[in-house]
A and B are shown apart, each in its own frame.
Chain A
């Protein structure tokens, strides 16, 4: 029996495969060469450009845009990749509206920045489609480095280290590399297995071995790694998920948004992926938006993001909020979950309105109920499985500016490490910079 759009419960096939395929198409279609030339022409080639300062990886944006303008996208790609080896993915997932494009002087002037992200994608796609890997390894140093976690920080570090001539072994907990690029980003931002293809492209540098299904608690210890390798870089991400602390959290239909997002990304057939009729996402960050929008794209009838503070406090950018709204997601502010109600499986959620009193979220006592056969928790991830001997700061592995942890010979970067926003681009910068520091200390 075919299930319709309105079928209650968590069901697959709410939309036809054709509709789903269309829904999950590229969020921003790639530029063709002419569009890229026109978009590039809008760049003013600012002096000491603000966009460049705003980029966590400090890509020379005016330079790469000028290279596109002058018709050599391959040089543009090299300019990008020199600073950010995952420039292809960052072009797709960076919240450019709060980074380079927010800083663009044309944003200030007209509210219409140069579309830096799409131009970056044009350049990086050009070299990747041609299969060009514009980097070569330096002479072998004989040094070995262990990288734990094959997410953006680990990959960036591994590439930079391999390029410097070191031999790198990357240990990955899952059976696939890429980290959040592969598992944690909305599917419409990384179509056609871009994350996988990018990893493959990156590995062309050589000198990197990946060992899957290995990590702390899965055969590795920090002492073991330290003994076997000349340096260790930790990029283990945030594997834990915060609990709701609302009654009924254990009911069927309540799950972590990150798991749902992973299911969407890994699904061979999205029309076979079940989703609720009435979906409520608890949280206010990018993960909440990714889960909500994708629920809607799979055919959920009502999708609500319930966030405990006001719009301005939301972690997701205004662009992401508007994207969600444009897909039909309802945004509710100043509400927090009180109870999930249902007989075994979730059926409703009770939300309590909130006020912010002296900076703290406080319930007003007034409540409301929403139909909810599926509830996604997207209230933040936590560090899990980090070696005990490391110093922790603010719930993350403590590192200095160069990525050094409290233990000599051990560096860390990405979401698991202190400092910086939890963004792909920040992780790349941290991985790259730690690799430079590792190289310096190995060669000293």
Chain B
């Protein structure tokens, strides 16, 4: 059986599944339940400065979108950082860490962008014996209006500055949690690295309005007739998170910077994908909020089953293996040619591929009177839309046209040479091929 033990920044945990800093980790009661359920670690819900805690709205804090049978696909929240006193949280963290020494416990922190504020809270956190801290530069709602959370994460200089303070006043690992509400994730990651961060974690939630109540003409969730954008998370954001993780992992400036991946992790497979792109572990929130802490059991069994099948004995065996295959569009091989192929035995004759191709793509699928659908190789550009809209998995496949064969669409023989846009004659700034 594969060993799921993870060592991230020297912090050991029995598996790579941590609960993200969020409502599920707001207090001792929940965190103890999480550890009993098998979670490898917990990032405690964000602590604020000492003094009267923040207050939350007393109306709905969450909004959602759903798929069939009300499967929750995306969740949005406008909850702020912990609304319980700092002292209470610190006492609880101390107790929990003492009782669960084998689990990771990280303190998430968000205090004003002033050196004094950080200098003051860090020793208090250190006393809890937490394994490290995570700087919450990500929450896009509420706190950002007060100059914290994503307001910091959107300014690389601030990220670097605060990270430096933390490295100065705290001697355990410092993880910088990034906001996706920026144009290029590499800049805040580089800033974190420049500030000597031990790792980055991402993504935090995305600015969002989940829906509009058309009777009251108000955004959801609605509090007294008004709504405010919240932070979006859950399965729907995973593709965005995968890309941002990959961008940091393959950026020469930050390559090798440890990453704790967050964003829609729902099953083992999501976690494996993030790890394949270079993440050292994953953080989960929405899946736990939707189904309860028990979901970690499937993540553990699924990941370990898959690793056994592949012959991986530890996370490190496959971590980052997909990163080198993430490239820029300009380097994609333009001599690679594929054609869609419809397996007639699997086809159920719904015609969705036909409608999609005929109406919205390249008119490359023929429909016969008896509803047999076939690909016209002389029209097919291998766009993959038919594969994506086909309700039968595996029925339509993209088949590579081997080098030496004729591409019926272009009338040219497929070349076995690699050629990309940088050298293409149509590219005005092409460099001459060698």
A interface, CB within 8 angstroms of B: 34, 37-38, 41-42, 44-50, 105-106, 108-109
Contacts and interface: CB of A to CB of B under 8 A. Distances in A.
A109 B392 contact: yes
Given A38-B68, A38-B69, A41-B69, A50 B349 contact: yes
A42 to B, nearest CB: 8
B351 A48 contact: yes
Contacts of A47: 350-352, 354-355, 367
B223 interface: no
Interface string B389-415: 001100000000000000000000000
Contacts of B371: 48, 50
Nearest to A108: B348
A42 B348 CA distance: 14
Nearest to B358: A47
A34 B350 contact: no
A44 B350 contact: yes
Contacts of B354: 47
Contacts of B391: 44
B359 to A, nearest CB: 9
Contacts of A42: 68
16 contacts: A37-B68, A37-B69, A38-B68, A41-B68, A44-B391, A45-B352, A47-B351, A47-B352, A47-B354, A48-B371, A50-B349, A105-B348, A105-B350, A106-B348, A108-B348, A109-B392
Contacts of B349: 46, 50, 105, 108
Interface of B: 68-70, 348-352, 354-355, 367, 371, 391-392
Contacts of B367: 47-48
Q: Report which residue of A41, A48, A50, A105 has the largest number of chain B beta carbons within 10 angstroms of its beta carbon.
A: A105
Contact of A46 (B68, B69, B352, B392): B352
A48 B354 CA distance: 10
A41 B350 CA distance: 15
A104 B349 CA distance: 10
A345 B391 CA distance: 60
B187 to A, nearest CB: 41
A263 B351 CA distance: 47
Contacts of A34: 70
A41 B67 CA distance: 9
Contacts of A45: 352
Contacts of B69: 37-38, 41
Contacts, number: 36
A109 B348 contact: yes
Contacts of B70: 34
B256 to A, nearest CB: 45
B305 to A, nearest CB: 27
Q: Report which residue of B68, B355, B367 has the largest number of chain A beta carbons within 10 angstroms of its beta carbon.
A: B68
Query: Which 9 A-B pairs give the minimum distances between C-beta atoms?
Result: A47-B351, A41-B68, A47-B355, A109-B348, A46-B350, A105-B348, A44-B350, A105-B350, A38-B69
B390 to A, nearest CB: 10
A47 B348 CA distance: 12
Contacts of A38: 68-69
A109 B391 CA distance: 10
A106 B352 CA distance: 13
A287 B33 CA distance: 61
B92 to A, nearest CB: 40
A106 B392 CA distance: 10
A50 B352 CA distance: 12
B365 to A, nearest CB: 10
Nearest to B389: A44
Given A34-B70, A50-B349, 13 more contacts: A38-B68, A44-B352, A46-B349, A46-B351, A47-B367, A48-B351, A48-B371, A50-B371, A105-B348, A106-B348, A108-B349, A109-B348, A109-B392
Contacts of A109: 348, 392
A326 B367 CA distance: 42
Contacts of B352: 44-47
A296 to B, nearest CB: 36
Nearest to B353: A47
Nearest to A69: B68
Nearest to A41: B68
B228 to A, nearest CB: 26
B66 to A, nearest CB: 10
A47 B373 CA distance: 11
A315 B392 CA distance: 34
Nearest to B395: A109
A43 B315 CA distance: 41
Q: Report which residue of A37, A47, A49 has the largest number of chain B beta carbons within 10 angstroms of its beta carbon.
A: A47
A309 B230 CA distance: 69
A278 to B, nearest CB: 46
Q: Report which residue of A41, A46, A106 has the largest number of chain B beta carbons within 10 angstroms of its beta carbon.
A: A46
Q: Report which residue of A34, A44, A108 has the largest number of chain B beta carbons within 10 angstroms of its beta carbon.
A: A44
Nearest to A110: B348
A425 to B, nearest CB: 23
A42 B392 CA distance: 13
B345 to A, nearest CB: 12
B138 to A, nearest CB: 34
Contacts of A41: 68-69
Nearest to A48: B351
Contacts of B351: 46-49
Q: Report which residue of B68, B348, B355, B367 has the largest number of chain A beta carbons within 10 angstroms of its beta carbon.
A: B348
B355 to A, nearest CB: 4
Nearest to B69: A38
Contacts of A44: 350, 352, 391
A38 B67 CA distance: 10
B373 to A, nearest CB: 9
Contacts of B350: 44, 46-47, 105
B216 to A, nearest CB: 17
A90 to B, nearest CB: 24
A48 B371 CA distance: 9
B107 to A, nearest CB: 42
A108 B355 CA distance: 20
A104 to B, nearest CB: 9
B367 to A, nearest CB: 8
A227 to B, nearest CB: 49
B312 to A, nearest CB: 35
Contacts of A46: 349-352
Nearest to A47: B351
A415 B256 CA distance: 79
A105 B373 CA distance: 14
